[in-house]
Structure 1
Amino acid sequence: MQTMDPTHAAPTGGLVSPAAARNADAILAILQAHLPQYGRVLEIASGSGQHAVAFARGLPDATWIPSDPSAEARDSIMAWRHDASLSNLAEPLALDAMDASTWPTETVQSVVCINMIHISPWSATEGLMALAGRVLTRPGGLMFLYGPYLEADQPLAPSNAAFDADLKARNPAWGLRDRDAIAAEALKHGLHLTLRKAMPANNIALLFRRT
């Protein structure tokens, strides 16, 4: 299913992420296969909003709730949301994974976080896991992560090694995270890693379930 039209110009006020346009279809296929058909999906660090539009369109019976701590990102999400006119796409939340006072109190059926963990300090990952543990209260609740990771049982692709070095040069608190360390942090909050799936461009999808 084609969800992102590369020839479609960004709406006024909307930011554009080429990576979001490239990977939306591959990610959507996984979400369609594993997310519940109905329910509320909380997206953490939604960025430009392109993913939120693509996934809300591709999952029409779910309510997609984007969020981002950046006011610029939220303005972009609103621009894409207005352009798409999707009834199941909510307004973005001013949610910061490192600030529990910004977290929603309502429960959701799924949490989605794409390409955030490596471009943030480890405390953001700790916050993400605590947040997911709070809002995913029912058994089977899903947390979906996507991005490049370090894996002890998999060779590190040269492109990912270069990316990791570049991230650390930009900010020493950034960098690719160890998959097992992420799984251990998730487990502290009742979330078990149930699926690892290779994705294009040396990325992987990790699916966690609430038990």
Structure 2
Amino acid sequence: MPGDANEAAAKRHAPATLRNRDAITEVLAEWLPSSGTILEIASGSGEHAVHFAAAFPHLFWQPSDPDPAGVASIAAWRAEAGLPNVAPPLALDAAAPAWPTGRADAILCINMVHISPWAATVGLFAGAARLLAPGTALILYGPYVEPDVPTADSNQAFDASLRARDPAWGLRDTDAIKAAASAAGLAFAERRAMPANNLMLLFRRTA
């Protein structure tokens, strides 16, 4: 059918998703709430969204992306999965001063911070502070630079390639991340080392 063909054409594939989704799921099982709506910022292809929604059927998943092609891909993956707990994707720019949603019981952001201007990260924290209730979680995943921790050669090369593509991109220092979060009213709670030199960082909205 034409609709099916259009959906297939819209679907994007992110190879890293297959490699990291199970490890991320294990940590999310510890950090996500027992019920409520999870807002995913910069959902990209949408593959993570449907995987996590299937893994956590007690949670309602709200994917989003600033790129119209990303929104179309998420919609196509959602249609294929047919899961009742995945909402239609939102067109949402983390850097925007207002987001097109009024609530979230936790926020997840995977692999955005290094592939976007710093303003997107600052906006992410500001938006999380607006939406989250005290004590609820903002969860980040991706590669970072840590003070006093040697940066893997692969991450150094990745950082160089990102900055060559766009000088506003690049791996962020975790101290800078924590400072920006604190300024917005989010307290750093936990660091979890992940495969392939990635980290998961947990922040919680302060009172």
**TM-score, normalising length: structure 2:** 0.94
Shift of 1:105: 4.4
| CA distance in structure 2 between the aligned counterparts of 1:152 and 1:189, rounded to whole angstroms | 22
Shift of 1:188: 1.3
Q: Please list every run of 5 or more consecutive structure 1 residues that lacks an aligned counterpart in the other structure.
A: 1-9
Poorly superposed stretches of 4+, deviation over 2 Å = 10-13
Indicate the SS of the match to 1:51: helix
Task: For residue 175 of structure 1, give the secondary structure of its aligned residue in structure 2.
Answer: coil
Letter of the structure 2 residue corresponding to residue 186 of structure 1: A
**Residue 118 of structure 1 pairs with residue 123 of structure 2:** no
Aligned to 2:66: 69
Give the Å deviation of 1:20.
1.1
**Aligned ranges for residues 19-168 of structure 1 at < 5 Å?**
19-101=16-98, 103-136=99-132, 138-168=133-163
Q: Deviations over 1:50-82 (max 9, x none)?
A: 000000111111110000011111111011000
**8 Å CA contact 1:40, 1:63 repeated in 2:** yes
The residue aligned with 1:179 is: 174
Q: Confirm or deny that 1:208 pairs with 2:203.
A: yes
Which of 120, 141, 164 in structure 2 is aligned with 1:169? Answer: 164
TM-fit CA distance, 1:154: 1.1
Give the direction of change, closer, same or farther, for the CA distance of 1:81–1:127 in structure 2 (3 Å limit): same
Q: Deviations over 1:165-190 (max 9, x none)?
A: 11111111110001011111111121
Separation in 2 of the partners of 1:209 and 1:11?
Answer: 38
Give the whole-Å Cα distance in 1 for the aligned partners of 2:121 and 2:85: 27
The one-letter amino acid paired with 1:80 is: W
Higher strand share: 2
CA drift of 1:104 comes to 3.1
SS of the aligned residue for 1:194 comes to strand
CA shift at 1:21, angstroms? 1.4
Aligned match of 1:192? 187
Q: Distance in 1 between matches of 2:30 and 2:55?
A: 11
Structure 2 Cα separation of the partners of residues 190 and 100 of structure 1: 16
Q: Is the 8 A contact 1:56 1:86 kept in 2?
A: yes
TM-fit CA distance, 1:140: 1.5
Cα shift at 1:11: 4.3
